[in-house]
Amino acid sequence: MAFFCGSTWRLFLINITVAVSYTFILPVMSIFLINGLHASPVFLTFYSLGTSLSGLFFCQLMGSLSDKGYPDERLFILSVLALSLTGIAFAYCRYPVQALLIGIFLLGPGNACVTLFLSIIRKHSLEAGINPTRLNTQMRTCVSVVWIAGPTLAFIFADRFGFAFDFLISALLSGMTILLCHLMLPVGEKTSGPGIAKSDEVRKPRISSDIWALGAVIILANLSNKIYMTVMPLYLVKDLNLPVSFPGFLLGSAAIIEIPVMLAAARLADKTGKELLFMAGFLFASAYYCLLLLASNRAELIALQLLNAVSFGIFTALGISVIQDALPERSGFASAFYFNAMRTGMIAGNGITGLMAQLTGFRMTLIIPFLSVSCAALMMLCINNSRFMKKRQ
């Protein structure tokens, strides 16, 4: 019922429009570059690297501006405007180099709207007296529901009407988001002048070793997921000789199970503690990746999706809250830090996947996700022990 308390439903509506606008750009981008613009496959690497680094820079920049007192709502509107211009620019894009420039200078700052919205949700939950972890999880669950149907529609529209139709829909939805923000969100002025901002910077809590360790945990988790999402379909089709449609069935099955897991994880975290449950999620992931290498038929692979859904559902539900709770006075930085750690893990996963698959094959490459989440679980154990010792002292 948190969605219907006060102004929370407005955030819910904005969350939906932003998520849908993304579903009409990101899923079809690789096919647009190869089939639509006739780019070479290696160009995908340059495009992914350029947009990822741009996203890292702009997310951290706007997160820092948020912590200095600039209103999150204004920064969010500016970022969504960049996302809307991205859709329009891609609709009229004709050459790969144009796509690269659009990705760097428009989609990069557009990606910052995700971290800024996470910061807005955090601040709203504290002001409204709503559990931040549950609200984050409920918002993220809505995004998961959107992504079950959104990419399917994006591919259907691209096939029937062309890629430009998809991109213009994304631009329209982003424009609707800006309108909703103007109508529904209270946009304040900068909350601190130069002198106050300077004194605030002195009082900012330093980034402790535990927080950097949590960032490393997020990197390891996303690295493993990126490698898994890339290699798993190839492993099932090439090595196990399963139908091409079967990996999609597995991903869809896991996505459906993830939704109730995310909602349950937010409630269970209040009883067990976020960090402990977070570590348990990585242990489920370790078990999944280990058993995945031993599974040889469809029934076993389908049954294993329960482990996969539980592990990923816990990670998705609690990841941002664990980072924000560690830096409660710097929600803008914390949200950007979390998002950039995710991006860093994905970039590292892209680099490792091709090299390992070329040298060792698809099956052996799936050992990397197992090792990565096992290290993440071990690091979470060390972080928990460190905090326990500090409390005792």
Looking at residue 3, the DSSP 8-state letter turns out to be G
List domains and CATH numbers for the chain: 2-203 (1.20.1250.20), 209-392 (1.20.1250.20)
Please check whether residue 295 is in contact with residue 366, taking contact to mean a CB–CB distance below 8 angstroms.
Answer: no
Torsion 142-147-148-150 (CA) sign: positive
- pLDDT per position as a tens digit, 85-116: 999 999 999 999 999 999 999 999 999 998 88
Comparing CA positions, the residue from 116, 136, 115, 111 lying closest to residue 126 is 136
Q: At what angle do helices 298-326 and 108-128 cross, to 10 degrees?
A: 70
Please check whether residue 75 is in contact with residue 137, taking contact to mean a CB–CB distance below 8 angstroms.
Answer: no
- pLDDT per position as a tens digit, 142-189: 887 887 778 778 888 888 999 999 999 999 999 999 999 988 876 555
Backbone angles phi, psi at 129, to 5 degrees: 70, 30
Average pLDDT over residues 352-380: 89
Average pLDDT over residues 351-377: 88
Q: How far is CA 226 from the centre of its chain?
A: 11
Other Cβ atoms closer than 10 A to 119: 25
Does residue 331 or residue 318 have the better pLDDT? 318
- Return the structure tokens found at 37: 């613009």
Averaging pLDDT over each range in 64-68, 195-199, 235-239, 282-286, which range is the top one?
Answer: 282-286
Please check whether residue 37 is in contact with residue 96, taking contact to mean a CB–CB distance below 8 angstroms.
Answer: yes
Contacting residues for 74 by C-beta, under 8 A, at least 6 apart? 187
pLDDT band of residue 1 (cuts 50, 70, 90) is very low
Looking at residue 343, its pLDDT comes to 85
Alpha helices in 6-42 (DSSP H): 8-23, 29-31
The answer to which of 16-20, 78-82, 180-184 has the lowest mean pLDDT is 180-184
- Return the structure tokens found at 303: 């049954």
Comparing CA positions, the residue from 121, 135, 134 lying closest to residue 66 is 121
Looking at residue 186, its pLDDT comes to 65
Average pLDDT over residues 192-207: 48
Comparing CA positions, the residue from 308, 330, 311 lying closest to residue 251 is 308
Torsion 79-83-85-86 (CA) sign: positive
Looking at residue 63, its pLDDT comes to 84
Contacts within 8 Å (CB) and 24+ apart, 247-255: 250/301, 250/302, 250/305, 252/148, 253/302, 253/305, 253/309, 254/305, 254/308, 254/309, 254/312, 255/144, 255/147, 255/148, 255/309
Q: What share of the chain is helix, strand, coil (3-state, %, to 5)?
A: 85, 0, 15
Torsion 382-385-391-393 (CA) sign: negative
Looking at residue 207, its pLDDT comes to 75
Q: Distance between CA 316 and CA 142 in Å, rounded? A: 12
Q: How far is CA 134 from the centre of its chain?
A: 17
What's the alpha-carbon Rg for the chain, to the nearest Å? Answer: 21
Q: Is the pLDDT of residue 139 over 80?
A: yes
Please check whether residue 121 is in contact with residue 11, taking contact to mean a CB–CB distance below 8 angstroms.
Answer: yes
pLDDT band of residue 277 (cuts 50, 70, 90) is very high
- Return the structure tokens found at 289: 């990746």
Q: Distance between CA 202 and CA 170 in Å, rounded? A: 41
Q: What is the average pLDDT value for the chain, to the nearest integer?
A: 85
